[in-house]
Amino acid sequence: MPKLLQASVFYRNDEPAGFGFTMPPDMWNVLVDAADAMWLQGRREIGGNADVQAAEYMQQLDMLGQHKSTLSDHQRMWIMLNIIALARNGYIPNNEFNGLLLIYEQETA
């Protein structure tokens, strides 16, 4: 299996209130596990409606995007978890300004 070199998450990164974060590879699996657990817990709390949950996550991202210059580390982590959860559940498209970017070491023959 190729080695993960870098992981990045993006949400409306082409807009002033958008986000783009890069993390070391050892942090990626921890964040994915946390985002998956957060998503499942949220689904249980709102009665299983993924569309409502996704809308709430996007609303949080949009609100936090208005305060980018004063975000705490805790808020940045929350943003990354929201982006990962939304992308992994099909609510953020993967394109040049949104979604997940995983860079792997190229295998040589």
Average pLDDT on 66-91 reads 94
Q: Which residues of 41-65 are buried (b: 16+ CB within 10 A; e: fewer)?
A: ebeeeeeeeeeebbeebbeebeebb
What is the rounded distance in angstroms from the CA atom of residue 73 to the CA atom of residue 76? 5
- pLDDT tens digits for 82-106? 999 999 999 999 998 999 999 999 8
User: Could you tell me the residue ranges of all domains in the chain?
Assistant: 4-104
Predicted structure pTM score: 0.91
